[in-house]
């Protein structure tokens, strides 16, 4: 895949690559796919190249829309880009597969809202400023048998994400994980995050995890044991 990096748009990192590696095994030829928080468009392009019938990409950033347009053309795939916050641009639509690489880096308590490039990673004091609203709404945008595939850091509470998907009536599991030193944004905050209990004492590593949730069917074959929870 060839990608042009538009200034002000988050370039693919290890989290993007881990999610992209999981996408081909989830895409079916009849799928309508939505990529939320698309950024450079790497996940949308991966889904299109895997054979998805239709791919839409959403981001709040104007520069991300330009990035998707340039990179989809560069890779010879067709992607419809819509600018807006999360699901607002696709209200009333449903998808077979929804992809998400939301901001998930825990920030300082009481800090001002992110600006510029930092919008791609700043996610509030617990790293869930965007994860929680996304998880609350995502099932309403899935078809019967639809799937969601998302990536996040373990320090943003993997279990909480799995529980949220289960509470929405989905089967959820971790499909891949990768342990590594704290990233370049998180590492300088390690002591402050440790003092707040976000990191364990002395913790200087994290896991990036890809989580799959499915409606009416188990998550992908080869995943860790699925988690399910009865509601009501």
The structure's pTM equals 0.86
User: How many domains, the chain?
Assistant: 1
Share of the chain above pLDDT 90, in %: 59
Q: Could you give the CA distance from residue 195 to residue 141 in angstroms, rounded to a whole number?
A: 38
| Alpha carbons 42 and 56: distance in angstroms, whole number | 12
Residue 5 lies in a domain: no
Q: Residue 156 — pLDDT band, cuts 50, 70, 90?
A: confident
Residue 219 is assigned to a structural domain of this protein: no
Classify residue 228: in a domain, yes or no: no
For 97, the domain range is 14-214
Residue 216 makes CB contacts below 8 A (sequence gap 6+) with 144, 145
pLDDT confidence bin for 227, thresholds 50/70/90: very low
pLDDT band at 70 (very low <50, low <70, confident <90, very high): very high
- Let me know if residue 231 belongs to a domain: no
170-199 pLDDT, tens digit each: 999 999 999 888 777 777 777 777 778 777
- Tell me whether residue 182 is in a domain: yes
Q: What is the CATH number of the domain that holds 45?
A: 3.40.50.150
Check if the beta carbon of residue 40 is closer than 8 Å to that of residue 64: yes
> What is the secondary structure of 165-207 as a DSSP string?
HHHTT-EEEEEEEEEEEPPTTTGGGHHHHHHTTSS-TT--EEE
Most confident of 6-20, 70-84, 186-200: 70-84
Quick check: is 163 in a domain? yes
Percent of the chain whose predicted confidence (pLDDT) is above 70: 86
Residue 160 counted as domain residue: yes
* Cα-trace Rg, the chain: 17
Among 83, 40, 89, 79, which Cα is nearest to 59's? Answer: 83
Q: What's the pLDDT band for 232 if we cut at 50, 70, 90? A: very low
**Domain annotation covers residue 61:** yes
């Amino acid at each position: 895949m060839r990608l042009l990096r538009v200034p002000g748009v988050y370039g693919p990192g290890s989290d993007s690559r881990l999610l992209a590696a999981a996408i081909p095994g989830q895409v079916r030829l009849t799928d309508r796919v939505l990529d939320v928080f698309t950024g450079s468009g790497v996940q949308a392009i991966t889904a299109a190249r895997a054979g998805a019938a239709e791919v839409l990409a959403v981001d709040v950033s104007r520069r991300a829309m330009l990035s998707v347009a340039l990179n989809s053309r560069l890779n010879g795939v067709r992607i419809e880009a819509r600018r807006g916050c999360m699901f607002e641009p696709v209200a009333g639509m449903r998808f077979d597969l929804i992809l998400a690489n939301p901001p998930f880096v825990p920030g300082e308590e009481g800090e001002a809202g992110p600006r510029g490039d930092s919008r791609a990673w700043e996610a509030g004091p617990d790293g869930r400023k965007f994860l929680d609203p996304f998880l609350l709404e995502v099932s309403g945008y899935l078809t019967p048998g639809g799937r969601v595939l998302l990536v996040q850091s373990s320090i943003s509470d993997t279990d909480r994400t799995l529980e949220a998907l289960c509470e929405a009536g989905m089967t959820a599991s971790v499909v891949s994980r990768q342990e590594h030193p704290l990233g370049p944004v998180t590492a300088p905050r390690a002591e402050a995050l440790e003092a707040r209990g976000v990191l364990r004492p002395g913790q200087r590593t994290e896991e990036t995890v890809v989580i799959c949730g499915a409606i009416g069917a188990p998550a992908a074959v080869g995943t860790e044991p699925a988690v399910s929870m009865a509601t009501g």
